[in-house]
Amino acid sequence: MITSFTYDINPSRILFGPGTLSCVGDELNRLGANRALILSTPSQRADAQKLAEQLGPLAAGVFAEAAMHTPVSVTTKAMAAFEASGADCVVALGGGSTIGLGKAIAYRNDTPQIVVATTYAGSEVTPILGQTEDGVKTTVRHPRILPEVVIYDPNLTLELPVAMSVTSGLNAMAHAVEALYAKDRNPISSMMAVEGIRALRDALRVIVTTPADIAARSDALYGSWLCGSVLGAVGMALHHKLCHTLGGSFDLPHAETHAIVLPHSAAYNARAAADTLQPLVDLFGGSIGGGLYDFAQSLGAPLALKDLGLKEAQLDLAADLAVENPYWNPRPVERDAVRSLLQRAWDGARPE
Ligand code: NAD
């Protein structure tokens, strides 16, 4: 039976398919924008410059200093570049770090954003911005942060390294796993979550052996769109709290941390959310935690937090921080159980 629900749908315009990068100019015209500042990380500067050349007079310049966790110092510099270039729009070309910079600019000056997403992190379809200042990461949610236009061109993901494709794909799946048991879930978010995970599961199996398979790359990007959409639509729980703690307080890398923690957080909630997680048991087989662990292992994903540089002596503090101001979770967040979860994730042990 469908029970009562409230669903705030995030309005975005999505262009999907190989070759859609060529639509950026038309989309700028559609938005009534005349000069776009193109954003990227240093490693994707060449792609950003190529796009600027393609746009000709519609490009106001390239700012290629986007960095992980959206440091406010970088945003301040980018705001100055935006003003100096006479830009009236941003085009973010890249993954969550570059998209975060575009969102940070739009949050401050309400400029329209076009995002060309090149990883599976999902930030492009959420009204959420995480930014860092003086070592502290804060998260803000606001309609201004949501990009107006998202372009998913699978051609741009053909060279996303296999290891990054795997961790980024598992990062996307983590959004959808938590969306399935979210307190504020609805029938559409649950449908998108299962379909997003299915698409990524099938696509990642191909990408690890044939990274340039355009069909698999398209399916992975489709899955990441669905998983990002549910991240933007419903609340996240223990898994995201754990990853925010490990990333924010111990500086662990974003996608890898999500990839390692996911089987353990799913196992933690397996019994309390048995009904809503059943579709994933069907997809991965056996117990949800074990099934996700075996899947990650089969892809060659990192499995142990100790391999990311976290010290065993830090696990007590990590558990203390993770249970402070907990997000709503289907199973009560208990300190000892969370400490055990972290131990297994640190060891790289298969969830029980
Ligand atoms: P990223 O954006 O940091 O990218 C990692 C590296 O890969 C960068 O050097 C990037 O230039 C490069 N890269 C990206 N796409 C590539 C491609 N197709 N080919 C080759 N290289 C490529 O990594 P990410 O995991 O996408 O993003 C992580 C960041 O996003 C974190 O700061 C996280 O907090 C944030 N995030 C935010 C949200 C949100 O809704 N606010 C959601 C997910 C992630």
CATH number of the domain bearing residue 190: 1.20.1090.10
Domain boundary among 100, 125, 157: 157
Name which residue sits closest to atom 32 of ligand 1, judged by CA: 69
Identify whether residues 267 and 285 lie together within a single domain.
yes
Q: Which domain holds residue 221?
A: 162-347
Name which residue sits closest to atom 3 of ligand 1, judged by CA: 97
Q: Give the nearest ligand 1 atom to 103 CA.
A: 41
**Coil, helix or strand at residue 220:** helix
Q: How far apart are CA 283 and CA 154, in angstroms?
A: 24
Identify whether residues 68 and 166 lie together within a single domain.
no
Pocket test for ligand 1, best of 116, 119, 144, 145 (most atoms within 8 A of CB): 119
87 inside domain: yes
In the chain, the amino acid numbered 131 is Q
Pocket test for ligand 1, best of 68, 136, 146, 225 (most atoms within 8 A of CB): 68
DSSP string, 129-170: EEEEETTEEEEEE-GGGS-SEEEE-GGGGTTS-HHHHHHHHH
Per-residue pLDDT, 249: 87
Q: How far is the CA of 95 from the centre of ligand 1 (A)?
A: 3
Strand order of the sheet with strand 59-63? 13-16, 149-152, 113-117, 89-94, 36-39, 59-63
Per-residue pLDDT, 198: 98
Identify whether residues 133 and 199 lie together within a single domain.
no
Q: How far is the CA of 254 from the centre of ligand 1 (A)?
A: 9
Q: How far apart are CA 165 and CA 255, in angstroms?
A: 10
**Coil, helix or strand at residue 36:** strand
Decide if 87 contacts 112 (C-beta within 8 A): no
Q: How far is the CA of 172 from the centre of ligand 1 (A)?
A: 11
Site residues for ligand 1, CB cut-off 6 Å: 41, 43-44, 68-69, 94-98, 100, 118-119, 121-123, 126, 128-130, 156-157, 159-160, 164, 168, 231, 254-255
Q: Which residues make beta-bridge pairs with 161? A: none
Identify whether residues 147 and 168 lie together within a single domain.
no
**What burial letters (b/e) apply to 332-351, b meaning 16+ CB within 10 Å?**
ebeeeebbbbbebbbeeebb
Q: How far is the CA of 170 from the centre of ligand 1 (A)?
A: 13
Identify whether residues 128 and 168 lie together within a single domain.
no
Identify whether residues 57 and 177 lie together within a single domain.
no
Identify whether residues 333 and 198 lie together within a single domain.
yes
Name which residue sits closest to atom 36 of ligand 1, judged by CA: 96
How many independent structural domains does the chain possess?
2
Cβ partners under 8 Å of residue 188, min gap 6:
7
Identify whether residues 181 and 303 lie together within a single domain.
yes
Short-list 147, 161, 103, 96, CA closest to 123: 96
Identify whether residues 30 and 116 lie together within a single domain.
yes
Q: Give the nearest ligand 1 atom to 139 CA.
A: 41
Q: How far is the CA of 133 from the centre of ligand 1 (A)?
A: 19
Per-residue pLDDT, 64: 98
Q: Which residues make beta-bridge pairs with 147? A: none
What is the full per-residue pLDDT of the chain (352 aa) written as tens digits? 778 999 999 999 999 999 999 999 999 999 999 999 999 999 999 999 999 999 999 999 999 999 998 999 999 999 999 999 999 999 999 999 999 999 999 999 999 999 999 999 999 999 999 998 887 778 999 999 999 999 999 999 999 999 999 999 999 999 999 999 999 999 999 999 999 999 999 999 999 999 999 999 999 999 999 999 999 999 999 999 999 999 988 989 999 999 999 999 999 999 999 999 999 999 998 899 999 999 999 999 999 999 999 999 999 999 999 999 889 999 999 999 999 999 999 999 999 7
Q: How far apart are CA 47 and CA 124, in angstroms?
A: 18
CATH number of the domain bearing residue 77: 3.40.50.1970
Per-residue pLDDT, 123: 97
Domain boundary among 157, 190, 209: 157
> Within 13 Å, how many C-alpha atoms sit on residue 322's CB side?
32
Q: Give the nearest ligand 1 atom to 167 CA.
A: 25
Identify whether residues 67 and 202 lie together within a single domain.
no
Q: How far is the CA of 6 from the centre of ligand 1 (A)?
A: 30
Domain boundary among 157, 176, 203: 157
Per-residue pLDDT, 137: 79
Identify whether residues 141 and 170 lie together within a single domain.
no
Q: How far is the CA of 97 from the centre of ligand 1 (A)?
A: 5
Q: How far is the CA of 224 from the centre of ligand 1 (A)?
A: 13
Question: What is the DSSP-derived secondary structure letter of residue 33?
Answer: -
Residue pLDDT, tens place only, 300-321: 999 999 999 999 999 999 999 9
Q: How far apart are CA 292 and CA 178, in angstroms?
A: 13
From its phi and psi, is residue 110 left (phi > 0), alpha (psi between -120 and 50) or beta? left
